[in-house]
Structure 1
Amino acid sequence: MKRRHLVAAAAATLAAPAIFAPSRAGARTRLKLILNWRYQGPQGMFFLAEDRGYFREAGLEVAIDQGEGSAAAVTKVATGAYDIGFGDINAAIALAATRPAEAPVGVMMLYNRPPFCIAVRADGPIRTPKDLEGRTLGGPANDGALRLFPAFARLAGIDAAKVTVVNMQPQLREQMLNRGQVDGVFGFINTIRFSARLIGTDADTAYRFIAYGDYGMDLYSNCIVVSRALARDMPEAVRGFLGALTRGLADMLREPDAAVAAVARREPLLNVAVERARLDATVRDEMNHPEIGTIGLGDVVEQRFVRGIEILAEAQGLPRKPGFAEVFRRDFLPPLSARPTRVVG
């Protein structure tokens, strides 16, 4: 095929409304993946899987795009813009309660401890959730913690009507908190912690974190979600993707420097030291629930997951409670013997 025909074919692929395409014999299946956020160290597992040929060996060609928030990743898969997302399973649950035919399905749980929080200044007057009343909080519109605030408010005894919530660009979050333009900000604890470090702020001394998990929200968090069409029509592509990602994940845990280097190849301005520290903290704090010793990283405890559905349904006033199988399927996962049962130590 001549070069101009190759360029035209690539352009047609990008413009096509259907993202995944069945392969010809010997060809690779094309998939589009959206990440949870802009390039960061903990995403190294995806890029190691790409750079080391694991996706290719699974018969896949995966285009990986930066994200705009964990909740946004779920929405973009639901609309058909992407086949696969690394997004907040709680956003998928909420969507399944109202638009079950469109809601993506979770297939591999990666963040099994709740990272959601509100960060406030350590030298300020806010010490408990009740102190948030009468204050102004901010966060990116697609932030998972912001989306879950109504549920948190109900569980923590906050009158949410007395809290003003404003949206901001992600890169301004910590700066606005430091300047006193808002009283608190929503986010993942480690996202805030290391974004603050990038602007010279030691979050562990400058901020106080009000963690959702301390107030009854023992929720799962970021998960690989896939479109219902992909799960239905191309189950082997889903299995192949998860198998390849599991290999990338194992490499990331064993070679964290290589994982961060893989991300840095996509974003040369990345602060490698900060992203390495972010990766370590994410693995330790968000992927390290004791349950993985029994079920392996990627799976969930059904009773705990269902309890999370109940918390969301009650606190957010969802019209119905989606069933477990509507929002999570473990049948695409690699066998337990292939998945990590320990991530630190």
Structure 2
Amino acid sequence: MITRRTVLAAGAGLLAAPHIVREAHAQAPVRFCLDWALQGNHGMFALAEDRGVFRREGLAVRMDRGFGSGDTAVKVASGAYDLGYTDPSTMVKFNAENPDKRLVSIYQVLDRTAAALVTTRRSGITSPQGVVGKRLGAPEGEASRMLFPAFARANNVDASQVRWTSMAPNLRDTMLFQNQVDAVTGFLFTVHFNLVGVGAREEDIVAWPYAENGLDIYGSAIVARAEWLERNQQQAAAFVKASIEGLKLLMAEPDAAMAALKRREALFDEPLEKRRWFMTRDRGILTPAVRSGGTGVLDAARSATLVRVNAEAYGVTNPPNPAEMFTDRFLPPASDRRVA
């Protein structure tokens, strides 16, 4: 039966409808690509989505897994994605070769690179200098391997005296565990837990992160194409603001973040990824610079070092201007970026 109350309720719904439609249209679509398959640190983006933080900032975010930092950079530069989470070291050579598709880091999530020299106690290597004359393994062209000469110079290691063994990425850590190589280069958070996964005891894993041993450069960041940024400044700032809030949520509620990632990937290993997140947090995010200046804080000298060492590693003769590759203009005030 249609009553007067029903008619009034229907009328109220119609009056509210334009507001709902306006809200829906206010959500700007943003395509976002991660650097790899879901890992613990990606929980900041998952929670920002699940808790409605992106929506509150006027964004409708589609988040996809990545297939390596280099691949993500290319996809963002091509316009397949608006924003990406990738290592800015991959951008040096790319920007030099593709100035019309220049990429810009708009929020440095990892204040320190995860690149590291990793070995096990049975190798007998007790310092970076101990790799001289040893078998060092990594996939050919892998970023940590390309940066090894700069790390070697910072630690008085003669890089020419290292014997390299190349392998597929999925075999690197197994080959180290099986003593087919004496040490490897790679991202600490990846190599460490891959070694645990193949049976290594954590107390037997020894590592020298580049950033803690003379090569203090940035790690993964949110990046965008310069041309897209000029047309979408509000969306860029909103995405950065929401991501920082997501990071704070991840810091406060790691279990909830792991559960959010598990909902997206059934095979996601919550206990292992929680431990990977804690290592990422402690070694890559909560650095003295971040504790002092807030997450995303930029330093011109460190930006210039990243460009210089990558230009040397990849033979880039026309390196990009660091000021055109890093910006902090989309960051909220430092008081809103305190995470420690």
User: Which residue number in structure 2 is paired with residue 263 of structure 1?
Assistant: 261
Q: Which residue of 1 aligns with 2:197?
A: 198
Q: 1:34 to 1:290 in 2, by over 3 A?
A: same
Match of 2:325 in 1: 327
| Residues 121-166 of structure 1 deviation map (CA, whole Å, 9 limit, x = unaligned) | 3211444445545554444567532342343345443335853241
Alpha carbons of structure 1 residues 244 and 214: separation in structure 2 relative to 1, 3 Å: closer
Number of aligned residues? 318
CA deviations on 1:236-291 (whole Å, 9 max, x unpaired) are: 11111112111211111111111111111112222211111111121111101111
Residue equivalent to 1:54: 53
Q: Which residue of 1 aligns with 2:43?
A: 44
Name the % identity: 33
> Residue in 1 aligned with 2:336?
338
Measure the CA separation in 2 of the matches of 1:153 and 1:71. 23
Matched residue, 1:106: 105
Query: Match for 1:37: what amino acid?
Result: W
Q: How is 1:181-260 mapped onto 2 (pairs within 5 angstroms)?
A: 181-203=180-202, 205-260=203-258
Instruction: Give the SS at the match of 2:112.
Output: coil
Counterpart of 1:209 in structure 2: which amino acid? A
Quote the Cα distance in structure 2 between the aligned partners of 1:155 and 1:68: 30
Partner of 2:64: 65
Which structure 1 residue ranges, 5 or more long, are not aligned? Answer: 1-22
Q: 2:164 is matched by which residue type in structure 1?
A: T
In the alignment, the residues of structure 2 paired with residue 87 and residue 141 of structure 1 have an alpha-carbon distance, to the nearest angstrom, of 19
- The one-letter code sitting in structure 2 at the alignment partner of 1:202 is R
Superposition map of 1:117-156 within 5 A: 117-132=116-131, 135-140=134-139, 143-156=142-155
- Residue type of the alignment partner of 1:69: G
Q: CA deviation at 1:55?
A: 1.6
Unpaired segments ≥5 residues, structure 2: 1-21
Letter in 1 for 2:100: A
Local SS of the residue matching 2:122: coil
Kept in 2: contact 1:116–1:211 (CA 8 A): yes
- Give distance in 1, aligned partners of 2:207 and 2:36: 21
Deviates more, 1:274-283 or 1:149-158: 149-158
Identify the structure with the greater helix proportion.
2
**What are the Cα deviations for residues 24-82 of structure 1, in whole angstroms up to 9, with x where unaligned?**
98153222222122111111001001111122222222221222233432233223332
* Counterpart in the other structure of 2:159: 159
Q: Say if 1:68 and 1:142, in contact at 8 Å, map to a contact too.
A: no
Q: Are residues 1:174 and 2:179 paired? A: no
Distance 1:85 1:126, change over 3 A: same
Higher alpha-carbon deviation: 311-320 or 117-126: 311-320
- Look up the match of 2:270: 272
Alignment match, 1:14: none
User: Is the 1:88–1:144 Cα contact (8 Å) retained in structure 2?
Assistant: no
206 and 326 in structure 1: CA distance in 2 versus 1, 3 angstrom threshold? same
TM-score computed with the length of structure 1 as normaliser: 0.82
CA contact (8 A) 1:193 1:202 kept: no
In structure 2, the CA distance between the partners of 1:46 and 1:142, relative to structure 1 (3 Å rule), is farther
Distance 1:228 1:235 in 2: 10
Show CA shifts across 1:160-204 (max 9, x none). 58532413133x33222112333332222122222222333223x
- Aligned position for 1:20: none
Distance 1:147 1:77 in 2: 23
The question of whether the paired residues in 2 share the 8 Å contact of 1:138 and 1:182 is answered with yes
Match of 1:13 in 2: none
Preserved contact between residue 133 and residue 163 of structure 2 (Cα < 8 Å): yes
Structure 2 length-normalised TM: 0.83
Contact (CA 8 Å) 2:37, 2:67: kept in 1 or not? yes
- The 1:45/1:159 distance shift into structure 2, 3 A limit, reads same
Distance 1:310 1:266 in 2: 38
Shift of 1:96: 2.5
Q: Displacement, 1:223? A: 0.9
C-alpha RMSD of the superposition: 2.6
Alpha-carbon contact 2:31-2:61 (below 8 Å) kept: yes
Q: What secondary structure does 1:291 align onto?
A: helix
Q: Matched residues in 2 for 1:228 and 1:249: separation?
A: 24
Contact 1:96 1:326 in 2 (8 A): no
Q: Is the deviation greater in 255-264 or in 296-305? A: 296-305
Q: Which has the larger radius of gyration?
A: 2
**Contact conserved, 2:135 with 2:162, CA < 8 A, in 1?**
no
In the alignment, what sits opposite 2:29?
30
What amino acid is the match of 2:168? Answer: M
